[in-house]
Structure 1
């Protein structure tokens, strides 16, 4: 993994570890629109204050694989059975104390005792079975179902209060990793509607969500694990990075997600690897992008180092694959190359000589706010591809319009599209990338090949070193034989942090901001 930029001497507590959602209608319960509990004590340092880039669309735990939801909910309000250490990739026990494969298609999980939910109800294996069934097998259309479990149903059974079995249709060597994405909720949680006011086992409980204003949490005094340092936490949101940075500088916030490079300084931020990779997805069903020579030429023409150094302020590493180092399947032999414009132009010229309409307009679709200086990045790509004789126009879109290009079913009649994507592999295994972005019918893939599909399926059945090697071969095969993607960079994020707190970000910080890992600086009140 990329290492963080040094930032003052800090001894922080160690951390224990694309699609959109619709904002649900406000509940009549007082907690839904009250916001008093978490505000108390802000002046004396008892409240941890976080400013987000956007208001979460939902706090439903089964949507915690959505970054905007997970950054509040995951391992703060609710917890999974298993958690992945983002630094080592190891799976660690959480609400499950151990697990084992008891048959080719069955895994058994031992359930931790002495855990209670925020409402005082004891946590048992029946709650774990209910949570998995609700997130994966129900009609709730949870993001975790499609992204993590690929819409496959599971058999779940609590065989005793402290034992759970999970059965798959076919052998799944990474089922515990998938289970780490299921946040546990109590039995009785609605299976017909997604919840606005989640109840979990985490170190903090929700006390108020004032729509459009703030979300407040209170420390769970009955938490089974180590108590967090701050009695209260409060989230607010400001869309402008400069405003979030100013709040850090003025002492109005302790932490801020997603600062832009121009707003970040050594005094107000820490850089961290955020697992995000930027790339162009090339629609190989439309001429001229249906010719692999043109697709390869696009990849050869991009000056990744110049983009990373100039537009990303060095907060990125030129990429040659969709996953960063540290993800199972990362191929160290795939390295970013300098631009090869002459060879790229030769490929385009050869395609043109064979009748490929290389002058047909290609639409480069990017999303406003996708990452800092995204419009300038699109313009740089337009210029670099124009040097090959390709006709590229830029379409900057909002989130909803971008999703129409990103997810199946894709817009009809759009013509050849080069979509600027930013993919984050939260799980640490290439299976989650290949199933979404490389399979012929993947929800974020425009095309593929039968050979690539077969290679992905075979790799998914393996474990250990064999799995690593097989997925590394898949990524190499995609580059050589399919070339659906032209890569830009593995990105780094910038976490705003005030002098009032100590926190060590890691590669998961952009997706889950663990409040229990934040400590007040010595001398600060709490």
Structure 2
């Protein structure tokens, strides 16, 4: 059983543990606090409004889409809250709206809930609302992103035993169900279950005051919040596509926090490095020629100069990746080596496939998303050139978020030919199950193909625990690289956040997906 004092002050939030134990946070201290460039930042600290600049406008603030980075960075922990949270530093699950939980059988979990929480519409949070949230996000036909990302095709049986007792039953034993539940942002029963909502009602410290489409989103605190009041009564989100512009807004005092910066965007001493859980790479549609030939997929891996990309575009702050999850996530295979850069080998594989009748001249569309992460456009252009050097016909297609999702999540767009999708995957929970179930199962929400044998391995791994679980997932990543090759992983990223000297805040591995405003205070 997990339990805690009911007076919980949320200091940390769900995501993976810090992935590099010795990562130094390059905090600027007060050396720039009184400089000319940071002058405006001091005014920000005296204001009642915390100003955040994002890479892009969220497509929605719908609670069941909160695991999408662009949505979660606004909603999670600020507007809505889960039953259980995960400490990103220790990896431990901690109580929030649920005070304790235990497995009461192999397939049944019982949770005890707080009795002093209200939603922002004044209604009570209770077991009925918790059960409704699970039904709506996991068991309905809404097509919530959290369903595919966390639960897949699994439906859950939920029962509100009484106002503060929730029973959840799984069709098969699931040793990490509490971890999965930490992804569900709780909403009241008045929330539509037939369509997604743009602006959710939650139990968090902030409510949505106004969304001026294309301009800004404003949050404000509310008197009925059950926890400690945040230091800033209001928060304002704007968005700018260029990292240099976001960095300049912090250095000039126009913003307090700037998200998604690159190492050369110009934040200077106000740029804070922090451990990230994101991995970038290509997902290859292995059911369409020429990508249905494993030799072509292998050639793509050999053709990408990962060391060169990390050095030239990311100043060696990122780390070359051999798999979709970074160190610190259960199942990470530390002995797995990244594909070496070998252009001649790549050319030879393409030529060999061509000699056997594979139509290697068929156009492959490399799909990427604008402003998804720093240098995404430059990286996409480099990848297009490197694959072309291997003898492949590659066309680059840059998209906005809504269009990119049509390639990223099932049902995929049809009649588009072979696709190499540039992905940024963050394992927010610290367990490989949340990667392999969506990206590697044949019918996974973000998987473009797989094999029957591989599916069996994946499903068996999910039932294991402890050392057996670690080994099972290590073997899966090896098998993927040797026998499936759906991915050409490139790098594990390091996050950079711009922070005004007038703000106290230490980012962690959750910050890129869930920016907790209550952790921010004015600098003294």
TM-score range, shorter chain: 0.7 to 0.9
Contact 2:84 2:98 in 1 (8 A): yes
Structure 1 residue 7 corresponds to structure 2 residue 26: yes
Task: Summarize the Cα distance change of 1:70–1:42 in structure 2 as closer, same or farther, 3 Å threshold.
Answer: same
**How far, CA to CA, are the matches of 1:185 and 1:404 in structure 2?**
26
Counterpart of 1:201?
A: 203
Q: 1:517 aligns with which of 499, 516, 519?
A: 519
**How far, CA to CA, are the matches of 1:231 and 1:368 in structure 2?**
32
Counterpart of 1:487?
A: 489
Task: Summarize the Cα distance change of 1:406–1:464 in structure 2 as closer, same or farther, 3 Å threshold.
Answer: same
Q: 1:388 aligns with which of 381, 387, 390?
A: 390
| Displacement after TM superposition at 1:367 (Å) | 2.9
Q: Cα deviation per residue 1:419-472 (whole Å; 9 max; x = unaligned)?
A: 222222222222222122211222322221111111011011112222221112
**How far, CA to CA, are the matches of 2:266 and 2:488 in structure 1?**
29
Greater shift, 289-298 or 379-388, is seen at: 379-388
Structure 1 residue 153 corresponds to structure 2 residue 172: no
| Displacement after TM superposition at 1:520 (Å) | 1.0
Contact 1:289 1:416 in 2 (8 A): yes
Q: Cα deviation per residue 1:326-361 (whole Å; 9 max; x = unaligned)?
A: 222211111225423344444334334434344444
Counterpart of 2:257?
A: 255
Secondary structure class of the residue paired with 1:488 = strand
| Displacement after TM superposition at 1:43 (Å) | 8.0
Contact 2:304 2:387 in 1 (8 A): yes
- Stretches of structure 1 that go unaligned for 5 or more consecutive residues are 12-40
Q: 2:408 aligns with which of 401, 406, 409?
A: 406
Q: 2:73 aligns with which of 71, 74, 83?
A: 71
Structure 1 residue 82 corresponds to structure 2 residue 84: yes
| Displacement after TM superposition at 1:72 (Å) | 1.3
Counterpart of 1:427?
A: 429
Counterpart of 1:266?
A: 268
| Displacement after TM superposition at 1:167 (Å) | 1.0
Q: Cα deviation per residue 1:500-520 (whole Å; 9 max; x = unaligned)?
A: 101111111111100011121
| Displacement after TM superposition at 1:490 (Å) | 1.0
Counterpart of 1:232?
A: 234
Secondary structure class of the residue paired with 2:335 = coil
Task: Summarize the Cα distance change of 1:134–1:472 in structure 2 as closer, same or farther, 3 Å threshold.
Answer: same
Q: 1:508 aligns with which of 501, 507, 510?
A: 510
TM-score (norm 2): 0.87
Contact 2:28 2:270 in 1 (8 A): no
Counterpart of 2:37?
A: none
Contact 1:4 1:270 in 2 (8 A): no
**How far, CA to CA, are the matches of 1:427 and 1:175 in structure 2?**
12
**How far, CA to CA, are the matches of 1:229 and 1:152 in structure 2?**
40
TM-score (norm 1): 0.87
Contact 2:27 2:272 in 1 (8 A): no
Secondary structure class of the residue paired with 1:380 = helix
Secondary structure class of the residue paired with 2:179 = helix
Task: Summarize the Cα distance change of 1:191–1:411 in structure 2 as closer, same or farther, 3 Å threshold.
Answer: closer
**How far, CA to CA, are the matches of 1:414 and 1:218 in structure 2?**
44
**How far, CA to CA, are the matches of 2:413 and 2:220 in structure 1?**
45
Secondary structure class of the residue paired with 1:157 = strand
Task: Summarize the Cα distance change of 1:489–1:209 in structure 2 as closer, same or farther, 3 Å threshold.
Answer: same
Task: Summarize the Cα distance change of 1:254–1:287 in structure 2 as closer, same or farther, 3 Å threshold.
Answer: same
**How far, CA to CA, are the matches of 1:435 and 1:236 in structure 2?**
34
Counterpart of 2:369?
A: 367
- Stretches of structure 2 that go unaligned for 5 or more consecutive residues are 1-18, 31-42
Counterpart of 1:38?
A: none
**How far, CA to CA, are the matches of 2:82 and 2:45 in structure 1?**
33
**How far, CA to CA, are the matches of 2:289 and 2:203 in structure 1?**
53
Counterpart of 2:338?
A: 336
Task: Summarize the Cα distance change of 1:292–1:189 in structure 2 as closer, same or farther, 3 Å threshold.
Answer: closer
**How far, CA to CA, are the matches of 1:346 and 1:197 in structure 2?**
53
Q: 2:319 aligns with which of 317, 320, 326?
A: 317
Q: 1:136 aligns with which of 89, 113, 138?
A: 138
Task: Summarize the Cα distance change of 1:48–1:241 in structure 2 as closer, same or farther, 3 Å threshold.
Answer: same
| Displacement after TM superposition at 1:108 (Å) | 0.5
Contact 2:28 2:501 in 1 (8 A): no
Q: 1:95 aligns with which of 94, 97, 100?
A: 97
Secondary structure class of the residue paired with 1:263 = coil
**How far, CA to CA, are the matches of 1:414 and 1:117 in structure 2?**
44
**How far, CA to CA, are the matches of 2:360 and 2:196 in structure 1?**
48
Structure 1 residue 126 corresponds to structure 2 residue 120: no
Alignment root-mean-square deviation, CA: 2.5
Q: 2:57 aligns with which of 42, 55, 58?
A: 55
| Displacement after TM superposition at 1:42 (Å) | 6.4
Counterpart of 2:471?
A: 469
Contact 2:45 2:522 in 1 (8 A): no
Secondary structure class of the residue paired with 1:275 = strand
Contact 1:10 1:502 in 2 (8 A): no
Counterpart of 1:287?
A: 289
Task: Summarize the Cα distance change of 1:119–1:391 in structure 2 as closer, same or farther, 3 Å threshold.
Answer: closer
**How far, CA to CA, are the matches of 2:152 and 2:493 in structure 1?**
26
Q: Cα deviation per residue 1:216-269 (whole Å; 9 max; x = unaligned)?
A: 223344433333222222222333333322221221211121223332333222
